[in-house]
């Protein structure tokens, strides 16, 4: 029986990520008695696995483009730095709320945590529609031969809907984990995201035919009617 090495690597990577996530949540919390983390962990894994299975069946190229992620996957030194900072921001989004839970710095109401979980699910819904509309949406900044400009679906609202979903997620995680202080991570994260976004726009204007015209058609980059 032939076993697809790509799927095997995916399973191993998912298990490794799950272990890292558990460590980031429960070691700083100092306890397994952290219901917000358990609810978030189950929700996040369900969304991530459903997401991965759907595209593995229906558009495997999406998964292949998305798994090449991180500083080592980037070509430009600036993008290596940005990628490292984004990863660090997401790690902090798990660790800071866990310490907050341990020391009781800024607890949120249970209803707010449930709202945060709903926003986590909403961010995955954004990611789903983005990748369904644009299978060329890689984790790295690149343009492939024959790649078209996508202006349908979420791309009809903003030019960088994947980053819009990321923005929702970075706010949602601390809320879901029961921390107001964690939301303040948005302050250092937003400039890094904008740095990446503006760099990507310059790259696409230069290397993707038709992108400049698309920017005239869709005015907003990240948030409809605002920016």
Residue 178 lies in a domain: yes
CATH number (domain holding residue 26) = 1.20.120.1630
Number of domains in the chain: 1
Higher-scoring residue by pLDDT: 68, 195: 195
Residue 226 lies in a domain: no
Encoded tokens for 36 = 């917000």
Residue 222 lies in a domain: no
Residues 6+ apart with CB under 8 A from 45: 18
Region 177-197 average pLDDT: 95
Residue 104 lies in a domain: yes
What distance lies between CA 24 and its chain's CA centroid?
Answer: 17
Region 124-148 average pLDDT: 91
DSSP E strands in the chain: the ranges are none
- pLDDT above 70 for 19: yes
* Whole-angstrom distance, CA of residue 79 vs CA of residue 201: 13
Residue 170 lies in a domain: yes
Residue 225 lies in a domain: no
Predicted TM-score of the model (pTM): 0.92
Give me the sign of the Cα torsion angle 118, 121, 123, 126.
negative
Distances (CA, A) of 152 to 168, 191, 196, 218: 21, 27, 22, 11
Distances (CA, A) of 166 to 4, 54, 85, 199: 30, 20, 14, 17
């Amino acid at each position: 029986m032939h076993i697809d090495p790509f799927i095997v690597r995916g399973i191993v990577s998912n298990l490794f990520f799950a272990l890292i996530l558990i460590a980031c949540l429960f070691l700083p919390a100092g306890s397994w008695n952290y219901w917000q983390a358990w609810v978030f962990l189950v929700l996040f894994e369900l969304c991530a696995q459903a997401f991965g299975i759907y595209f593995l069946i229906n558009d495997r190229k999406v998964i292949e483009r998305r798994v090449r992620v991180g500083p080592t996957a980037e070509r430009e030194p600036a993008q290596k730095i940005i990628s490292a900072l984004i990863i660090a921001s997401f790690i902090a989004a798990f660790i800071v709320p866990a310490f907050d839970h341990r020391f009781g710095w800024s607890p949120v109401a249970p209803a707010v945590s449930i709202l945060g979980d709903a926003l986590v699910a909403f961010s995955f819904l954004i990611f789903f529609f983005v990748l369904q509309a644009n299978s060329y949406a890689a984790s790295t900044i690149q343009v492939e031969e024959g790649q078209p400009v996508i202006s349908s679906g979420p791309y009809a609202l903003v030019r960088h809907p994947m980053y819009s979903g990321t923005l929702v997620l970075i706010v949602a995680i601390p809320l879901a984990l029961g921390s107001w202080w964690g939301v303040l991570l948005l302050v250092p994260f937003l400039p890094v995201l904008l740095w990446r976004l503006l760099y990507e726009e310059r790259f696409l204007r230069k290397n993707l035919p038709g992108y400049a015209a698309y920017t005239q058609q869709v005015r907003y980059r990240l948030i409809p009617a605002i920016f």
